[in-house]
Structure 1
Amino acid sequence: MLHFDAQDYPYTSKRNVVYAKNGMVCVGNPTAASAGLQTLLKGGNAVDAAITVAAMQPVVEPTGNGLGSDCFAIVWYKGKLYGINGSGPAPKLASIQALKERGYDTIPSYGVEPVNVPGAVGAWMALHERFGSLDLMTVMEPAIRYAEEGYPVSPNISRLWEEAEGIYTKFKTRPEFQGWFDTFLPQGRYYRPGEVFASKDLARTLRRIAETKGEDFYRGELAKTVDAFMKKHNGFLRYKDLAAYTPEWVEPISVNYRGYDIWELPPNGHGITVLMALNILKAWNFTERDTVETMHRQIEAMKLSFVDTKEYVAEPSHMKVTVEELLSERYAADRRALIGTEAIEPVVGDPRYSSTVYFSVADKDGNMVSFIQSNYRGFGSGVVVPGTGISFNDRAENFSFDESHPNALVGGKRPYHTIIPAFLTKDGEAVASFGIMGGFMQPQAHVQVAMNLIDFGLNPQQALDAPRWQWIGGKRVEVEQETSNHIIRLLQRRGHEIIVQPDPYHMGRGQIIVRDKNGILCGATEKRTDGQIASY
C-alpha cells in the first residue's frame, strides 16, 4: 500500500488529510459532500452516495455541470472494477456540412449547435440498477430538496458564476438563451457568496427523473419538451436521439507503474494519455519531486502523449490505432528516446509499426467510486429548456471540424472526451480513487498526483496541494506561482517557455480517497476549490 513518508515536504497544505473507518465522501462542494454522507448514514452504499452527489452537483455547482451533462465513473464493487461511459453522441442531424451551411467554419462554443445527447442521467440510472441498495427516490431526495428549498452559494462557485455572467451576457437578446438567464440570473446578476439559489424547475425535473427511473428524461414528456424547444430554435437534438441513448459499460484500461496498477477508462475519453505518459516515465527512477530533471521529463512525456491522443483518440470504431498499440512497451520506449535535455516541439508518432466536477466516495464494505461529470465549458452551451432547469452541454465542440480526422463531427458519434476518473490498485486490491477536473489539465494532473503519491511519498492532501504545471502547446508550460524560481530558470535554460499562472483554478481541482490494508480511509480535497470531506 501507499506509504506517506514525506513529513517534511516544504509546501504547507491548507488542510490536513482526514481519516475515517466507515465511509467518506470527498467533493468540491460542502453541500454536496453533506448530501452524500446523508445517504451513507441511511445505509446506502458507495454507489448510492455517488448518485446522490451526482444529482446534487447540477444544483450546487451549476457552473460546471447540469442535467444535460455527460459523466464517467470507475466503480470498485465487491472486489471487482467496473467502468461506465456516460457520454452521449452528436445528434443524428449534426454534421460539419450542416454547420457550414449555417456559416460556421468551426464548431461553436455556445448555443443549440454544440449540444450532444446528454449521458449523465442515463449513467446514474444504470449505476443504480446494477449496484444501488436504496430506492432511487431516497438517493435523489437531497438534490430535489436543495433545488426546491435553496442553498447558500459557496465562494468559488460565486466567482465562476460571475465569470459566466460576463460570457453569456452577449447572448441576452437571443431567444434560445432566455432560459439560462431566467434560471441562473433571475436577479439580473450572478449569485454572491452566501446568497441562496433555488430552482423549482430543476427540483420538478429531478423528481420526474427519480419517479420514472430516467424514462421521462429520455422517452417521456421531458424528452418531448426538449424536442419541441430544439425544433423551435433550430437545434439538432431530437426526441429520437434521446430515446435511443444508453450508456456503455466498459472495461477500464491500465498500466503498471512501480507495482501499482493505474486505471483509466478507454477511448473515447483521453484517460489513455495518463497511461501513455506513465509508460514513458516508468523507466526512470525519480527520487526528488522538485528538481528540474523531474519536471522536464514529466513535461516532455506529457507533450508526446498528448499530441498522440489528440491525433488518434475518438469514438473507438473510428480510431486508426488500437489501445494496445498506444500502450505497448515498444512504443513507450520509442517515445522515451525522443526526450533529451532540451524542450522539444512534440510531433505525432505512429504506434502501428507496419477537463467539470469530480468526486470520490467510499463505504464501510470496501466499495469505492471515482466519478466525474461535466457540461464541458462552465455552464455549457448556455441553453436551458424553459420550465425544466435542464442546462445542456457544449461537448460537440470537442469534435474536429476536419472531415478526414478520426474525431470528425458525425451525427450519432461520440467525441473525444476530456473528463476522466482514475483508480489505483495493487495486487488486485483497491488502493485509491482519485481524479482532477479541469479540461485538458486532467491527464496532466493525474500524472503529477499519481507520481506524488507513488514516487515521492506525499500524503493525499500534499499530493493535491503541491504546485502543478500544465503544458499548453509547443514549448509553452504554465506553472503555479508557488513553483521555486530556480526551477523556473533552469527549465527556461532547457528551452521551455514558462508562464507563471497566478490563478490556481486553471490547474485543476481534485479529490482523493486512499484505503489502507485495514480498511481505514484517508481522504483529501483540493485547496483550489471549496472542497469538503464528509465522513463517519
Structure 2
Amino acid sequence: MRRRTFLAALPATALASPLLGQQQRATPAGPGQGGAPAPEQSLPKKWLAGEPRFVRPDVQAGDRPFGASFASRSAVYGLSGATGTAHPLATQAGIDILKRGGSAVDAAVAINACLGFLEPTSSGIGGDCYAMLWDPKQGKVVGIAGSGESPRALTLDIVRSRAKNGALPPRGAVTVSVPGAVDAWWTLHQRHGKLPWAEVLAPAIALAENGAPVPDIIAWYIRANLAGFVAQGSGVEETANAIRTYGLADGKGPKPGNVFRNPDLARTYRMIAQGGRDAFYNGPIADTIERYFKRIGGWLTRADMAAHHSEWIEPNSTDYRGTTVYALGANTQGIATLQMLNMIEQFDMEGAGFQSPEALHWCVEAKRLAYEDRARYYADPHFSKVPVEWLISKEYAAQRAALIRRDRILTPVYPGKAPSHGDTTYFSTADKDGMMVSMIQSNFRGMGSGLVADGLGFMFQDRGQLFSLKDGHPNIYAPGKRPFQTIIPGFAGKGGRPWMSFGVMGGDMQPQGQTQIIVNRVDYGLEIQSAGDSPRWHHEGSSQSMGEDAPGLPASGLLRLETGVPDRTKAALADLGWTIGEPDGGFGRYECIEHRMDGKDRVYAAASEMRADGCALAY
C-alpha cells in the first residue's frame, strides 16, 4: 500500500472551491479513476503565496522506516496519562491538569473549555456534549448525555412557518436549543473531579485573555463561517456580535498564525468558574441570554436554561469479533456504528483484504442499511420509544446483511420493519488511576447558528435544524424536546478491560469513521496511528429526517474516496455502479488513546491524525 498522495484531479465544479485553491487545475478523473497525470509544464514549481494547498500529483510523502507506509507518524506512549485533541495547546493543557493531580475528567473539562476558545469552528459552550468513560472503581463504561432541549415558547407551527423545502433552516434563532455542555462538565466534575472547579477552568481563561495564534485549518473555517453568516439571505438575525468576537482586524476572521483573543469569553468563563453551572443556567449569563434573544426576536429564555440537566445513561454495546464496542443511545446516532459492525461481521473482511473493493462495498452497503433505520427510528427516547434492542441485535443484523449483494448495489434501500411494540470536536484523556474519557462536543454545523449574545463571547448551536417536521415521525419538533444528535463518542473494550477511547468527528461521517477505525484495527491489525491515517470513504445520500445531504444525488448516493484509496479499488467500485465523488475534506478527524498492559505496567498509547491541527501527548 503506497502512502497517501495529494489530490490528482477535480471536477470542474470543485475547481473554484476556496478550500482547494487554484493549483489543482489538473485533468479531471473519469469514474473511479485516479485521473491522467498533469503535463509536466503545468505542475507548480513552488507553493505560491496565498494558495491554500500545494498540489503535486507526481510527488508523495517521504518513506517511514517502520510501521505502515501510509502512517503520518508514530503513536506516543506514557505510563501516567495521555490526551489527544484537535489543537496542540488544548492537548498541553490537558497534560498539565493531569500532572497537577487532576483526573481524566478534570483534563477533559479543561480541554473542552480551551477548545471553545481555540477551536470555535467545532466547539463551544453554546453547544452540546456527550461522553463515555471507563470508571475503574465500577469496572465498567458509563455515559453522560449533555443535550439541550428546544425552547418552550417555540411551537411546531412557528417552526414550520420558518421552514424551507420542508426542513428547518441551517442558521438563526429558530435552530437554537439550550446549550448542554456546561452542565455536562459540571455533572462529570461533581462525580469524578479531583481538582477544584475553578482550577480546571483556569487554563482556558488564561488562553482567552492572553490570546493564541490560530492554526491553518481552524483559521480557514472561521473565515468561511463568518462569510456565510453575513451573506444575503443567511437567516441570521444579528451578526455584529459574531463579527466583533471573531472577525479580527478586517472583520473577516483570522488568517493562519494571526493572534486571536476573546476577552468576552474569558469573562464568561470567570463567572462559571466562580458560580459553577448555576451562573450559566440560572444566573447572570442566563439573564443576558434571555435579554439577547428577546432583542433579536428569538425564543430561548432563562426558564429554558434553568430547566436543563444532563443525564447519566447506560451505553449500548455489541461484540465485534471479540471486541466489545460501546455506543450511546439517547437521542444520538451512536447505535448506527453498532448496526454497521453487526452487518459487516457477516462478511470475511480479512479474506477480502485491506482497502479492497469487496471490503469497501460491504461496508458502504451496511452504512446505507443502518442509515435508513437512523432516519426512521432515532429520536429523543423521552418522547418516542426507540427499538434499540431490536436495532442492534445480531438476528436483525443477519437479516439486513443478507440483503447485501456482492455483484451489485442494493437499490432501493428501505428501513427495517420494527416489531409492533409500544464541522464537532472530539478529544480523549486518560489518567494514572486507569480512568479514560471519550468526549465529543459540538455546535453542530460549523460554528453554529451565527448568534453571539451581547458580551458573552460564544456562539449558540444550531442543533435544532436536526428536528423532523414530518407528522408522526419520532424526531418531529416539539417544545422542550431534544433534537436528533450526530455527535457520538466512541469506546471499545477487550476481555472486560478498556481498550480504546476514540472518536471520529464530522456530522454523519461519525458512525462511518468509527466503523472504519474498528475494522482497521480488528480485521487488518493496524495500530492506533495507522488506523486513523488509513484512507477513508464517506457515503452521502441516505434517507434522513433533516436536510443534511445535498439534493440531487444519485439513487445509490455519492461515495467519496480519499486520494490514498488504491486506483484499482476506485475503478472496481465504479464498475460495480457506485458514483465516485472527489475528496472534499469531509472524512472526519480522529483522536484515540489505547490502554495496554505490559506485565504489571499500564501503558497508554495515543494517536492524532493529519486531517486536523491537533496532536496527542502522553507522559
Q: Is the 8 A contact 1:431 1:516 kept in 2?
A: yes
2:279 maps to 1:211: no
2:371 maps to 1:306: yes
What is the distance in 2 between the residues matched to 1:319 and 1:103? 23
How is 1:517-536 mapped onto 2 (pairs within 5 angstroms)?
517-518=597-598, 519-536=602-619
How is 1:458-497 mapped onto 2 (pairs within 5 angstroms)?
458-473=526-541, 474-475=555-556, 476-497=558-579
Counterpart selection for 1:326 from 367, 391, 394: 391
What is the distance in 1 between the residues matched to 2:235 and 2:372? 39
1:103 Cα deviation after fit: 6.8
What is the distance in 1 between the residues matched to 2:365 and 2:182? 38
Runs of 4+ in 1 over 4 A off after TM superposition: 7-11, 102-105, 171-175
Task: State the SS of the aligned residue for 1:391.
Answer: coil
1:174 Cα deviation after fit: 6.5
Match in the other structure for 2:245? 183
Match in the other structure for 1:449? 517
Q: Which amino acid aligns with 2:286?
A: A
2:173 maps to 1:148: no
What is the distance in 1 between the residues matched to 2:155 and 2:579? 37
1:51 Cα deviation after fit: 0.6
Q: Is the 8 A contact 2:171 2:235 kept in 1?
A: no
What is the distance in 2 between the residues matched to 1:230 and 1:17? 46
1:80 Cα deviation after fit: 2.5
Task: State the SS of the aligned residue for 1:489.
Answer: helix
2:76 maps to 1:18: yes
Q: Structure 1 stretch 470-479 or stretch 226-235: which is displaced more?
A: 470-479
Q: Is the 8 A contact 2:83 2:428 kept in 1?
A: yes
Q: Is the 8 A contact 2:122 2:447 kept in 1?
A: yes
What is the distance in 2 between the residues matched to 1:267 and 1:303? 21
Q: Is the 8 A contact 2:424 2:446 kept in 1?
A: yes
Q: Is the 8 A contact 1:434 1:512 kept in 2?
A: yes
1:163 Cα deviation after fit: 1.4
What is the distance in 2 between the residues matched to 1:41 and 1:139? 12
1:110 Cα deviation after fit: 1.0
What is the distance in 2 between the residues matched to 1:103 and 1:152? 39
1:320 Cα deviation after fit: 4.9
Higher RCO structure, 1 or 2 (CA under 8 Å, sep 6+): 1
Q: Is the 8 A contact 2:377 2:474 kept in 1?
A: yes
Q: Can you list the C-alpha shifts for 1:162-187, whole angstroms capped at 9, x where unaligned?
A: 21132122169976222111101142
2:436 maps to 1:436: no
Q: Is the 8 A contact 1:251 1:265 kept in 2?
A: yes
Match in the other structure for 1:91? 151
What is the distance in 2 between the residues matched to 1:46 and 1:352? 41
Q: Can you list the C-alpha shifts for 1:3-22, whole angstroms capped at 9, x where unaligned?
A: xxxx9876422221111111
Task: State the SS of the aligned residue for 2:243.
Answer: helix
Task: State the SS of the aligned residue for 2:382.
Answer: helix
Q: Can you list the C-alpha shifts for 1:283-335, whole angstroms capped at 9, x where unaligned?
A: 22321222111111111111100111111000013435411011122211110
Counterpart selection for 2:94 from 36, 51, 56: 36
Q: Which amino acid aligns with 1:32?
A: A
What is the distance in 2 between the residues matched to 1:8 and 1:334? 42
**1:135/1:352 Cα in 2 relative to 1: closer, same or farther (>3 Å)?**
same
2:430 maps to 1:350: no
What is the distance in 1 between the residues matched to 2:388 and 2:471? 23
Match in the other structure for 1:3? none
**1:218/1:275 Cα in 2 relative to 1: closer, same or farther (>3 Å)?**
same
Q: Is the 8 A contact 1:321 1:352 kept in 2?
A: no
Match in the other structure for 1:75? 133
Q: Structure 1 stretch 89-98 or stretch 330-339: which is displaced more?
A: 89-98
2:337 maps to 1:277: no
Q: Is the 8 A contact 1:321 1:351 kept in 2?
A: no
Q: Which amino acid aligns with 2:409?
A: A
Match in the other structure for 1:55? 113
Q: Can you list the C-alpha shifts for 1:435-491, whole angstroms capped at 9, x where unaligned?
A: 000000000000001111111100111000101111102422111111111111111
Match in the other structure for 1:138? 199
Match in the other structure for 1:202? 265
Q: Which amino acid aligns with 1:74?
A: M
**1:415/1:174 Cα in 2 relative to 1: closer, same or farther (>3 Å)?**
closer
1:89 Cα deviation after fit: 1.0
Tell me how many residue pairs correspond in the alignment: 529
1:363 Cα deviation after fit: 1.0
**1:70/1:103 Cα in 2 relative to 1: closer, same or farther (>3 Å)?**
closer
Q: Is the 8 A contact 2:606 2:618 kept in 1?
A: no
Match in the other structure for 2:549? none
1:353 Cα deviation after fit: 6.7
**1:173/1:401 Cα in 2 relative to 1: closer, same or farther (>3 Å)?**
closer
2:279 maps to 1:193: no
Task: State the SS of the aligned residue for 2:227.
Answer: helix
Structural RMSD (CA): 1.8
Task: State the SS of the aligned residue for 2:134.
Answer: strand
Unaligned runs of 5+ in 1: 1-6
Q: Structure 1 stretch 121-130 or stretch 345-354: which is displaced more?
A: 345-354
**1:238/1:326 Cα in 2 relative to 1: closer, same or farther (>3 Å)?**
same
Match in the other structure for 2:292? 229
Q: Which amino acid aligns with 2:344?
A: L
Match in the other structure for 2:382? 317
What is the distance in 1 between the residues matched to 2:247 and 2:200? 29
1:99 Cα deviation after fit: 2.4
What is the distance in 1 between the residues matched to 2:573 and 2:167? 35
What is the distance in 2 between the residues matched to 1:438 and 1:404? 28
Task: State the SS of the aligned residue for 2:581.
Answer: strand
Q: TM-score, normalised by structure 1?
A: 0.96
More helix by share: 1
Counterpart selection for 2:175 from 114, 123, 129: 114
Unaligned runs of 5+ in 2: 1-64, 542-554
What is the distance in 2 between the residues matched to 1:128 and 1:10? 39
| Larger radius of gyration between Structure 1 and Structure 2 | 2
What is the distance in 2 between the residues matched to 1:326 and 1:175? 40
Q: Is the 8 A contact 2:212 2:260 kept in 1?
A: yes
Match in the other structure for 1:407? 475
Task: State the SS of the aligned residue for 1:213.
Answer: helix
**1:452/1:390 Cα in 2 relative to 1: closer, same or farther (>3 Å)?**
same
How is 1:225-304 mapped onto 2 (pairs within 5 angstroms)?
225-287=288-350, 288-304=353-369
What is the distance in 2 between the residues matched to 1:195 and 1:388? 22
